[in-house]
Amino acid sequence: MKSIFDKYSYEASRNVTKSYSTSFYAGVKCLDKKIRNDVHAIYGLVRFADEIVDTFHQYEKSELLKEFKKATFDAIERKISLNPILNAFQATVNKYAIDHALIEQFFKSMEMDLNPVEYDEQAYKEYILGSAEVVGLMCLKIFVFGNEEEYQRLKPYAMKLGSAFQKINFLRDLKNDYKELGRTYFPDLNTEQMTAEDKKRIEEEIDAEFKDAYKGIKQLPKSSRFGVYVSYVYYTSLLRRIKRKTTADLLNERIRVSNNIKALLFAKSYILNRINLL
């Protein structure tokens, strides 16, 4: 029965989230049950594409990504795929009428990761748009249950949040991106020569985006507000830790928030949500 396969497909996407990102998985668990599977479906697609460009070095990555992209759009058009991750993704895309241009933009950023890129300001913004902002927009379409008017109203806030998350990822993953993958995302900036002032400027950009994004989080439906807020709290905590580090520190270690701290942050967030202070 198709329903059994569809259920298995969503379970596969959920397992991808759980295996690759404990923080994101924790955030999704705080969403209403009606939308959790759909968010897992988005993450599953994004995670697999990211794996192709980040870790499959012994394979022809450009061909794998090209095939994966084609299979993605074939699945959306046919409304089925024998790849469970793509089957779950197409079901969610078709259910909420997610704009295919967002998916195209995402794959464009993944293609940018196939080869070293000298990022100027324009390329930097385009990469963040495709790798993070459009992912936030796909999730937003789910959060508003496909309501186009609400989607357009909250769109700027979702883009700010996605951008802030991605810039924190750039700082957190500085060591791996630069030393292992040969990537430097920050425009017109030599990573090894990044000064304290450079780092502070980036952190101030993130703070400003978080300030705007928080306004949007408070306007989300109750079904998604708490889950998004938990992710926001985790990332703002990570940013505080990054601020206490030097560029040299970031080039030698990957900064993270411990599970104990995450538990405390979750408890505090839960209380604020219960007493309607979000």
| Residues above pLDDT 90, as percent of the chain | 75
Give the DSSP per-residue string, 146-168: T-HHHHHHHHHHHHHHHHHHHHH
Question: For domain 2-274, which CATH number applies: 1.10.600.10, 1.20.5.50, 3.30.70.890, 3.40.190.10?
Answer: 1.10.600.10
Residues present in the chain in total: 278
Q: Which of 6-20, 56-70, 154-168, 193-207 is least confident?
A: 193-207
Q: Is the pLDDT of residue 227 over 80?
A: yes
Average pLDDT over every residue of 144-154: 97
At residue 145, the pLDDT reads 97
With a pLDDT cut of 70, the percent of the chain lying above it is 98
Helix (H, G, I), strand (E, B) or coil at 110: helix
Question: Which H/E stretch holds residue 250?
Answer: helix 247-250
How does residue 278 score in pLDDT terms, banded at 50, 70 and 90?
low
Q: For residue 116, what pLDDT band results from cuts at 50, 70 and 90? A: confident
- The pLDDT mean for the chain works out to 92
Q: Which of 30-44, 115-129, 180-194 has the highest mean pLDDT?
A: 30-44
> Which structure tokens are listed for 70?
């084609």
Say what the pLDDT of residue 31 is.
Answer: 95
Tell me the pLDDT tens digit for each residue of 22-53. 888 888 999 999 999 999 999 999 999 999 99
- Helix H or strand E segment including 79: none
The pLDDT assigned to 263 comes to: 80
**3-state helix, strand and coil shares in percent for the chain, rounded to the nearest 5:** 80, 0, 20
Output 250-253 pairs: Cβ under 8 A, ≥24 positions apart.
250/171, 250/172, 250/174, 250/175, 251/174, 251/175, 251/178, 251/179, 251/191, 251/192, 252/175, 253/175
Q: Which residue has the tokens 């668990």?
A: 29
pLDDT one-digit tens code per residue, 261-272? 878 877 778 777
- How high is the pLDDT of residue 214? 96
The average pLDDT across 115-135 equals 91
Q: Is the confidence at residue 277, as pLDDT, over 60?
A: no
Model pLDDT, residue 9? 98
Per-residue model confidence as pLDDT tens digits over 50-103: 999 999 999 999 999 999 999 999 999 999 999 999 999 999 999 999 999 999
Residue 175: pLDDT over 90: no
Query: Would you state the pLDDT for residue 159?
Result: 97
With CA atoms as reference, report the closest residue to 184 among 106, 256, 112. Answer: 112
